[in-house]
Structure 1
Amino acid sequence: MEYQTLPDESDQVHYLIIDLKYVEEDVLITEINSTAGGQPNTTKSRKQIISEDVLLILTGPVSTVLIPSFYSLVIISVPINFCALLAFAWRIRPKKPAAIYMMNLACADLIFGILLPFKISYHFRGNDWVFGPFMCRVVTAAFYWNMYCSVLLIACISVDRLLGVVYPINSLSWRTPRNAIIACVTMWILSFAGSVPLVLSEQTYHITELNITTCYDVQAMDDLIWKYRIYFVTLCCALFFLPLLVTVVSYARVIWCLSRVPAGVPGRSRRRTRAVVMSVTVLVMFVLCFAPTNCLLLAHYLQFHEGMEDNQQQVANSSYVAYMVFLCLGSLNCLLDPLVYYFGSSQCRKQLSSFLRCEKIRASKSISHSPPDAGPAAEPDAQKAPE
């Protein structure tokens, strides 16, 4: 009896999976080989059997309707961040460090928004990727790259605010446009380096039973245990939890410092209010957009180990569904970042105030130059009294 593996890729098993579960089944196919004197030729193949929970995830309304609909709303961030990028690039002079950080933040959000339609199409098509393996890698990496680039840039903004408020004189030599540009380039390199493994590894898998090609949602079990587990745990700790600690400590120090300013100092209340609003906005972004995604991602990959039972894989599947939803919510940072622009940059506030004043002046001029409504004929001048 001779065993051979079928070369057809559709018959080969891809173990599961980031979260979804495949069952491996050996199928013995016996054929009579007439050229070998009627000797039986048995071929060993592997068949994909998809479980019910996986079928529900890939075809259910959460991944095919809810998630892409929410992403479609986030598309409105594209014109907002495009206008913000133009304002930071050409309207704001001179470039202060805070404006440089925010210009890079707007650029990152804009690139993410431009790539978002690929993800929307993928989910609306029933989790079927039709744009090729390379674009799947790029879009997958872009999600993580945008998230960690935003986290790192917000951490830079918080440190810049800390230096400007707590050490206003001693930090003058550090808070320069040149150093801000160096910091931004470093953050881009770190976030790109963190997403490189996703670009280099295979992200698309064809599921024969559903006749779809998934993007990132299905992975080989060996990759999950040995490669992605180490990769994502390191990524979350280095590019999320550490910047989160820096951001929280920086804004807590800023608020504490402003609270100690004597009450008679001009602008004390305004500066403290702005710092509190900025801190709350950033913390809401971390809690709503970044923290659930990274905590679930960390917990999800820590569940994988060799010899997982069926109930353990079902728990992992459920955690991945929650992760997909929170990853979707994480895209809200593209809409919340303009609040960071406004409260974090005095130049941005001045430009917006100037723009609104110009609009008011134009509106008042258009009203003053408009012809008066036609009314009754004017009364003639009073007749002179008779002499």
Structure 2
Amino acid sequence: MTLAPSSIPFFSATVSHGAPNSTNGTSCPPYDGWEWLSSNQPVYILLIMALGIVLNVFVLMVFLFHKKPCTVAEIYLSNLAVSDLVLMCCLPFWAVNIYNDFDWPFGRFLCKAVNLGIKLNVNGSVYFIVLISIDRYMALVHPMSQGRMRRPKYAKLACVLMWGFGFILSLPTVIFREVKYLPEYSVTACFLDYQNDALQLILDGMLIISGFVIPISIILFCTVKITQSLKIQAVERFSAEKTEQRATTLILVVLLAFLICWVPFHVVTTLEVLLKAELLKGCRLWDIVDICNQLFTYLGFSNSVLNPLLYVIVGKNFRKKAREFFKQWSIRRTGTLESSSSQLSSLKTLK
């Protein structure tokens, strides 16, 4: 029997205890049109994993090994790249799981660890985007009052706090993810086992508010204010520092890409919670939400590949840093080779 992806999806996978024979906790018949999606998922996952690892490692090398220290914005972007890299390293396990018809072969520890890594990306990346938005807001809307808030050491502290907060939001994954044999599907599945439908709804509601409503509201507010400030500066022919303007252009593109990639997933997740709470009803709506949940999940994953490409395409300062990094690396490599050659020549002379 082929297990529907909606039964064991990436983030909100649960098995309803009130209706164990249904995939969505209702009396709706299971949807049988999953084969086309299941057959293409592993290939897509492995593709974005390979691209994401290469591109995000490249971004981190440019930011961390460049001769100049990172700016506040670059500190946030480098942490975003780390978050994306964590996600990319977790995806191969789910590719194997899907190829294995959702029969989890990696044991209980990796079930929790892999899903923790995925949730850390979902929860952490949105708050790194929040930090980036606030930084640009302070730089352009309140440039005279930013003071100490935009120092690199405070940016690093903020990133540490955000990693901790992202972990707290991901705790339900650590606590409730289990590996159990499901006789109705004849698989040993890795899924969220709340054992209580009311607890599930409460936790899902809290995650929607803390992981979507609040951060997206902050991001949208800052983005609107930043855009208004740029328009006013253009009308008044007021010129901020070029570096700030270039950084802001890149950040706005990154913000837009994030919203396009992740907002649909969070909207569908909200609809799924409303369906579980029976505030919305309909078998057809369940099927649509299940399919959109899968499609928009992969749209969100693609953001981890898109970010590094945006840095290269839009980020003029990043391209400059990348060129300087490669030049610096080339000089070091040439110097190492010359040193090795001179040592060999000295040894031959001694002989």
Q: Place the TM-score, normalised by the shorter chain, in its bin.
A: 0.7 to 0.9
Residue 278 (structure 1) shift: 3.6
- Corresponding position of 1:156: 131
Contact kept, 8 Å, 2:84 with 2:304, in 1: the verdict is yes
CA distance in 1, matches of 2:152, 2:247: 23
**How many Å apart are 1:237 and its aligned residue?**
1.2
2:69 pairs, out of 94, 97, 100, with 94
What CA distance in whole angstroms lies between the structure 2 residues aligned with 1:65 and 1:313? 24
Runs of 5+ unmatched residues, structure 2: 1-15, 332-351
Aligned counterpart, 1:146: 121
Aligned pairs, number: 314
Partner of 1:68: 42
**SS of 1:173 mapped into structure 2:** helix
Compute the displacement of 1:157 (Å).
0.7
Distance 1:250 1:73, change over 3 A: same
Is 1:328 the counterpart of 2:298? The answer is yes
- What's the CA shift for 1:178? 1.3
User: Is residue 2:215 matched to residue 1:215?
Assistant: no
Secondary structure (helix, strand or coil) at the match of 1:126 reads coil
Alpha-carbon shift at residue 185 of structure 1 (Å)? 0.9
Q: CA deviation at 1:246?
A: 1.2
CA distance, structure 1, for counterparts of residue 246 and residue 315 of structure 2: 14
Shift of 1:341: 4.3
**Structure 1 residue 243, shift from structure 2 partner:** 1.3
Contact 1:255 1:276 in 2 (8 A): no
- Larger Rg, first or second structure (1 or 2): 1
**1:345, 1:302 → 2: CA distance?**
40
Q: Structure 1 residues 186, 351: CA separation in 2 closer, same or farther (over 3 Å shift)?
A: same
Distance change >3 Å, CA 213–CA 52, structure 1 → 2: farther
- Structure 2 CA distance for partners of 1:211 and 1:190, relative to 1, 3 Å: same
Q: Is the 8 A contact 2:246 2:315 kept in 1?
A: no
Structure 1 unaligned runs (5+)? Answer: 1-12, 25-50, 362-387
Deviation at 1:172, TM superposition (A): 2.7
Q: Is the 8 A contact 1:77 1:335 kept in 2?
A: yes
Aligned equivalent of 1:121, options 89, 93, 96: 96
Selected match of 2:272 from 282, 294, 300: 300
Task: State the 1:339 CA deviation.
Answer: 4.8
* 1:31-82 deviation per Cα after TM superposition (whole angstroms, max 9, x unaligned): xxxxxxxxxxxxxxxxxxxx8626x36x6231x2122222122111101111
Relative to structure 1, is the Cα distance of residues 339 and 171 closer, same or farther in structure 2, using a 3 angstrom cutoff?
A: farther
Find the aligned partners of 2:247 and 2:70 in 1 and give their Cα distance.
21
Closer, same or farther in 2 for the Cα pair 1:17/1:210, shift >3 Å? closer
Check 1:326–1:229 CA distance in 2 against 1; reply closer, same or farther (3 A cut).
same
Partners of 1:257 and 1:294 in 2: CA distance: 29
Q: Equivalent residue for 1:9?
A: none
Could you give the per-residue CA deviations for residues 79-112 of structure 1, whole angstroms, max 9, x where no partner exists? 1111211222221522321111111111111111
Secondary structure at 1:303 match in 2:
helix
Offset from partner CA, 1:234-273 (integer Å, 9 cap, x none): 1121122211111122122122112222565568899768
Taking the aligned partners of 1:284 and 1:324, their CA distance within structure 2 comes to: 19
The one-letter code matched in structure 1 to 2:164 is I
Give the secondary structure class of the aligned counterpart of 2:70: coil
So what's the TM-score if we normalise by structure 1?
Answer: 0.70
Tell whether the 8 Å contact from 1:285 to 1:336 is kept in structure 2 after alignment.
Answer: no
Give the structure with the larger helix fraction: 2
Q: Which amino acid aligns with 1:96?
A: T
Structure number with the higher strand fraction is 1
The equivalent residue for 1:338 is 308
1:338 counterpart letter in structure 2:
P
Give the fraction of aligned pairs with identical amino acids, expressed as a percent.
23
